[in-house]
Structures are given as structure tokens and as C-alpha cells.
Structure 1
Amino acid sequence: MVLALARAELKLLLRNKTVAVSSLLMPILVGSWVGSTLPDDAPPQAWAITLCLQLLVVLGFTVYFAVTAALASRREDLYLKRLRSGEASDAVVLAGLLAPVVLLGVLQSALVLVISISMGAPVPRSLPLLAALVLGMGLCLVAGVATSGRTSSSEQAQITTLPLFLALTGGVLVAIVGPMWLLLPGGGIGGLILHAVTGKGDAVSSAASLLVWSVLFSLLAKAWFRWEPR
């Protein structure tokens, strides 16, 4: 059931031009452009900042924005209501709808990483990099579910997702300025990427920041998410 829903949702995502461009094309273009601005002899610190920004853009566009826009659109056209009236549980329905976004996020993150390494970036340590991707993905998923409850269409998602998107990408300040920016939603991602590339920073505090924000947005998702239009 989850796979069937995921296949159908992937087709719907790709048909929506707003979501397709924002979640598929934009992260790759931004990631490639940011990586191309660094010289061949750039130090690890510079690459840590670059990789952090690339991953934050991928998670912000491909995961957070896409989840918000897709769920808002499916709710307004009563697709969520129809799915919920069937045999599948709420958890199965949400898993099927969110699975394509997770897959696209993983593929794009891997692609951006390969592009950066081919441009001269050092290979990051696997454990903190994996933690940044998994915990960051979880944060953006629950944040997208929460924001969708305050979004009436995929077009409006361009506005409702903007504040948190800026807070997410602001996590790059951890790699630029210091650990005080761990308080931002994306700060934990920045801290983990910094640790993965340079060995600096506190990986435990970074992971804890992401977990705290994920719990907060999980509570908001539970309070705000709606299955049908008001």
C-alpha cells in the first residue's frame, strides 16, 4: 500500500511545475553554483561552509517545501480525505505520501556531495554526515507537515515556508561564525557538517539541537495538520 501511494505521489509531484522546479531543479543549480565559486586550493573550512549551504538548500527545497506544498494541495483537492476514507491507516497514508520526497532528498544530497567532491571538497566523515542528513531530513519532514496545516495551496507554500526556510539556511552561520547559531533550526545541520569536514565543533550539541527542533515541530504538526479543507 505504501509503495502504491508513493508511486502515485511521485507522479503528482513531477506534474506540478511549481514543486518540480523548486524541489528538483533549484537545489542542484544552487549547489553547483556555490561549489563552483571556490578556488581549487580552498581550505576545509570553506568547503564545510559550502557543503553546509548545499545540504540546507536541498533539505529546504526538496524536502520542506515539497512536503508543505504537496500536502496542502492534496488536502484542498480532497485527495487526503479520500485516502483516509479507505482501508489504509493515517500512518500508512502519510508514509506513502512522504516517501517520494525522502527518496528525492537522499538522491539530491548524494548528487550535490559528489559534485562538490569532484570540485575538490574533502570527503566528509561518514557518521556526522549521515547524522546531518537523517536528522535534518526528519526535521524538514515534520516541519513540512506542520506548515501544511497553515497553507491552503501549493502556490501559497512559497510564502508560508519562507520564514522557516530562511531559519534553516541560516544554520550555515554555525560554520561561519560559531556555535551560538545552533539555536536556529538549521544550526544542528551546520554543526554536524562542520564536524564532518573539519573535525571541529560539537557533534553531540548539534544533534541535540536537531532533535529538540524535531520534537517541537512534531507537536505543531499534531496540532495544526488537517486532512480536509475548513
Structure 2
Amino acid sequence: MVLALARAELKLLLRNKTVAVSSLLMPILVGLWSGHTLPDDAPPQAWAITLSIQLLMVLGFTVYFAATAALAARREDRYLKRLRSGEASDVVILAGLLTPVVLLGVLQAVLMLIISMSAGAPAPRPLPNLAALVLGIGLCLAAGVATSGRTSSSEQAQITTLPLFLGLMGGVLVAIVGPMWLLLPGGGVGGLLHHALTGDGDALTSSASLLVWIALFALLAKAWFRWEPR
């Protein structure tokens, strides 16, 4: 059931030009640009900033924005209501609808890393790099479900997702300014990638920051998410 829903959702996702361009084309363009703007002898700290920008763009556009827009659109056309009237549980429905954005996010994140490494980036430490991806996806999924409850259409998602998107991109500042920026939603991702590239920073603190944000948005998702239009 999850796979069937995921296949159908992927087709719908790619048909929406706004979502398709924002979630697929934009991160790739930013990744190509940021991965080839540093010199070959750039230090690991510079690459930590670049990889943070790349991953946070993927998480912000491909996962968070796409999840918000897709769930809002499916609710407003009563697709969610029809699915819920069947045998599938709420968890199965959400898993099926959100699987495409997760898969696209993982594929793009891997592509961004390959681009950067081909341009001279050092190989990041596997565990903090993987933690940044997994926990970042968890954060953006929970936030997407929550934000969709305050979004009436896929077009409006461009506005309702903007505050958190800025909070995600603020995570880049962890590698520039310091750990105080871990208080932002994207700070944990930036902190983990900074640790993965340079060895500096505390991976546990960064992970804890992300887990707190995931828990917060999970609570908001439970309170805000709606299956039917108002």
C-alpha cells in the first residue's frame, strides 16, 4: 500500500511545475554553483560551509517545501479524505505520500556530495554526515506535516514555508560564527557537517538540537494537521 501511494504521489509531484522546479531543479543548480566556486586548496572549514548550504537547500526545498505543498494540495482536493475512508491507516497514508520526497532528498544529497568531492572537497566522516542527513530529513518531514496544516494550497506553501526555510539556512552560520546558532532548526545539520569535515564541534550537541526540534514539530504536526479542508 505504501509503495502504491508513493508511486502515485511521485507522479502528482512531478506534474506540479511549482513544486517540481523548487524541489528538483533549484537544489541541483545551487549544488553545482556552490561545489565549483571554491579553489582546489580550500580548507575543510570552507567546504563545511559549502556542504551545509547544499544539504540545507536539499532539505529545505526537496523535503520540507515539497512535503508541505503536497499535503496541502492533497487535502484541499479531498484526496486525503478519500484515502482515509479506505482501509489504510493514517500512518500508512502519510508514509506513502511522503516517501517520494524522502527518496528524492536522499538522491540529491548524495549527488551534492559527489559534486563537491569531485571539485576537491575532503571526504566527510561517515557517521556525523549520515546523522545530518537522517535527522535533517526527520526534522523537515515533521515540519512539513505541521506547516501543511497552516497552508491552504501548494502555491501558498511558498509563503508559509519561508520562516522555517530561513531558520534552516541559518544553520550554515554554525561553521562561521559558532555553536550559538545551534538554537536554529538548521543549526544541528550545520554543526554535524562542520564536525564531519573538520572534526571540530560536538556531534552529540548538534544531534540533540535536531532531536528537540523534531519533537517540537511533531507536537505541532499533531495539533495542526488536518485531513479535510476547513
| Same structural fold, with TM-score higher than 0.5 when normalized by the shorter chain | yes
Structure 1-normalised TM-score? 0.99
Following the alignment from structure 1 to structure 2, what is the Cα–Cα distance between the partners of residues 96 and 107? 18
Q: Following superposition of structure 1 onto structure 2, how do residues 52-67 of structure 1 map, counting pairs within 5 Å?
A: 52-67=52-67
CA-CA distance at 1:35 after TM superposition: 1.5
Provide the residue aligned with 1:125 in structure 2. 125
CA-CA distance at 1:52 after TM superposition: 0.6
- 3-state SS, counterpart of residue 169 of structure 1: helix
Establish whether residue 203 from structure 1 lines up as the match of residue 210 from structure 2.
no
C-alpha distance after superposition, 1:73-129 (max 9, x if no partner): 000000000000001000000000000110000000000000000000000000000
Q: Following superposition of structure 1 onto structure 2, how do residues 170-185 of structure 1 map, counting pairs within 5 Å?
A: 170-185=170-185
Following the alignment from structure 1 to structure 2, what is the Cα–Cα distance between the partners of residues 39 and 129? 22
CA-CA distance at 1:31 after TM superposition: 1.1
Q: Following superposition of structure 1 onto structure 2, how do residues 147-162 of structure 1 map, counting pairs within 5 Å?
A: 147-162=147-162
Following the alignment from structure 1 to structure 2, what is the Cα–Cα distance between the partners of residues 165 and 31? 17
Following the alignment from structure 1 to structure 2, what is the Cα–Cα distance between the partners of residues 100 and 167? 24
Deviates more, 1:67-76 or 1:32-41: 32-41
CA-CA distance at 1:50 after TM superposition: 0.4
Paired amino acid for 1:225: F
CA-CA distance at 1:53 after TM superposition: 0.8
In structure 1, runs of 5+ residues without a counterpart are none
CA-CA distance at 1:198 after TM superposition: 0.5
Structure 2-normalised TM-score? 0.99
Provide the residue aligned with 2:81 in structure 1. 81
Paired amino acid for 1:13: L
- 3-state SS, counterpart of residue 117 of structure 1: helix
Following the alignment from structure 1 to structure 2, what is the Cα–Cα distance between the partners of residues 228 and 17? 24
Provide the residue aligned with 1:169 in structure 2. 169
Provide the residue aligned with 1:90 in structure 2. 90
CA-CA distance at 1:34 after TM superposition: 1.2
Following the alignment from structure 1 to structure 2, what is the Cα–Cα distance between the partners of residues 37 and 118? 12
Q: RMSD value over aligned CA atoms?
A: 0.4
* Count of aligned pairs between the two proteins: 230
Paired amino acid for 2:199: G
Following the alignment from structure 1 to structure 2, what is the Cα–Cα distance between the partners of residues 124 and 51? 10
Following the alignment from structure 1 to structure 2, what is the Cα–Cα distance between the partners of residues 31 and 178? 24
- 3-state SS, counterpart of residue 87 of structure 1: coil
Provide the residue aligned with 2:137 in structure 1. 137
Provide the residue aligned with 2:187 in structure 1. 187
Following the alignment from structure 1 to structure 2, what is the Cα–Cα distance between the partners of residues 56 and 125? 18
Paired amino acid for 1:39: P
CA-CA distance at 1:152 after TM superposition: 0.3
Following the alignment from structure 2 to structure 1, what is the Cα–Cα distance between the partners of residues 33 and 174? 21
Q: Which runs of 4+ in 1 moved over 6 A?
A: none
Provide the residue aligned with 1:36 in structure 2. 36
Following the alignment from structure 2 to structure 1, what is the Cα–Cα distance between the partners of residues 37 and 114? 16
Following the alignment from structure 2 to structure 1, what is the Cα–Cα distance between the partners of residues 158 and 9? 20
